Amino acid sequence: MSRSFVSRKAIYLRAGNRWLYISETDTLHQSAMSTMQVLVCALAILSAVAAQKETHYVPGHDGMVHLFEWKWHDIADECERFLGPIGFGGVQVSPIQENVIVGNRPWWERYQPISYKWHTRSGTADEFREMVRRCNDVGVRIYVDVVFNHMTGNHDNARGTGGSTADTHSFSYPAVPYSVFDFHTPPCGINNYRDPVNIRNCELSGLHDIDQSKEYVREKIVNFLNEAVDAGVAGFRVDAAKHMWPSDLEVIFSRIKNLNTEHHFPSEARPYIFQEVIDYGGEAISKYEYNSFGAVTEFRYGMEISNSMNGNNLLKWFGNWGEAWGLLPSKDAVVFIDNHDTQRGNPNILTYKSSKRYKMAVAFMLAHPYGTARVMSSFDFHSFDANPPQDSAGNLLSPIINPDDTCGNGWVCEHRWRQIYNMVRFRNAANNTDINNWWDNGQNQIAFCRGNAGFIAINGDGYDFKQTLFTCVEPGTYCDVISGNLENNKCTGKVVTVDQDRRAHIEILTNEEDGVLAIHQQAKVKS
């Protein structure tokens, strides 16, 4: 959205997809654009950039969940029966565009587009529009995972989920239509992650690499994104952004429409953009090349927290968690413990398979104000290529909701774990407050407040946590939202009594199911 540079003869300032030109003579003598005009223009640019980083959550809602491979009508039902009432801010949904059908139907076939038609195993275009409407109506925003870095790899007799065909060997995708002229050619494979040109102009895992510098290609992508905006989505997760040139993405994003006011968005609201840029530090391509015109997925976040919960870092060091650790500015970062890629490809990242440590990591993420937090909601898998739950014909199965609100039928649904959804409630209760009264034992037992709204303690040590600590919340009786709920003005889990000086005795024993305790102002028992 904004970029500037100075040449020997002129200053250039970019506003959207326009370059503003100020000559050397103008700047030194009688400028055709006054200093005030330049300032106003610059402020407008900064405003537009900030807007691209606004999630547009409904007041009282926070936290995004990735309902990975869910069907559209199941997402609509989940928004109405669970996500809206709990207070989730939004849902990242799987790619909506038609993908090639791969034998055994692995999860990654969704990331091989064959057209921009809205027809996948998750449902049809009409079903998608209905889902977006129903979710928006209950205060839950929808963010679409979009794939436009590439099309498919080579497949014989390639056919898509909506019936489209392609001659992938000759780069012919008639349902778009794209031809060989719309790709980076001659094709090359990415084989040097120290070379930005190789990374951005060559094929990722053999997937045919689209050339986003071409105007025809940009128009196709923008039309696809604008149709989704018309349907009421709040924004986009941009797959493989690292493999596209920032200057091309800037132009594409600047041409996306404002959000649709018929879906409860304010006028002139810009779509929330968050870009997949894998940067653990020291990469040839940096996350800082992309955060000026949209948010970025902060991969170091989950790695560092997983390291700590796995015993490789001390939790006490997280007292200055955030930019001091080399992370993006908070507003620029989408943060997560695991995602659909890292939970399969990185054995050092915590997932649902290590449930106690994983819940501790997610609780820390949701309690901490840094970044835009995203919770993973998985299906059970035992191999990298494992397909989502499906019937014998390859149709996706719906989650079964158990009496205790957990999921079945092959779905894990971490977002329905009490220890996680109650921390979404904590996040909402503590919104717009900072961290204060940090405490640690010099090792892996930590505690902190969020203003006067909430208090959390985490035991990462191999021995019991028993401390009397200042909790910041007002005196009274509180329910620990990790071990239970506040129901009928009673606690179904641990009870925490806060005395008149706002101190409480906190216990987290090593033999307990969870290594966390959390209280907040909305989980207080009425006297």
Burial of 489 (0-12, 13-18, 19+ CB in 10 A): exposed
Q: Tell me if residue 276 is catalytic.
A: yes
Nearest to 4 by CA among 46, 56, 32, 35: 46
Q: Characterize the bridge pairing of strands 490-491 and 272-275.
A: unpaired
Residue 170 is classified by DSSP as G
Interatomic CA distance for residues 375 and 358, integer angstroms = 11
Tell me the torsion sign for CA atoms 399, 402, 406, 408: negative
User: What would the DSSP string read from start to end of 414-479?
Assistant: GGGSHHHHHHHHHHHHTTT--EEEEEE-SSSEEEEEETTTEEEEEE-SSS-EEEEEE--SPSEEEE
- Residue 460 token pair: 């990462």
CA 82 to chain centre: 19
**Helix crossing, 125-137 with 215-231: angle to 10°?**
50
Q: Are 62 and 427 in contact (CB under 8 A)?
A: yes
Catalytic entry in 54, 239, 338, 461: 239
Peptide bond into 187 cis (omega under 30): no
Tell me if 423 sits within 8 A of 362, measured CB to CB.
yes
Amino acid found at 521: Q
Which is the catalytic residue, given 54, 211, 248, 276?
276
**Beta-bridge mates of residue 235:** 143, 272
Q: Where are the beta strands (DSSP E) in 148-199?
A: 158-159, 165-166
62 is known as an active-site residue: no
Q: What is the DSSP string of 253-305?
A: HHTSPPP-GGGTPPTTPPPEEEE----SSS-SS-GGGTTTSSEEE-HHHHHHH
Catalytic residue numbers read: 239, 276
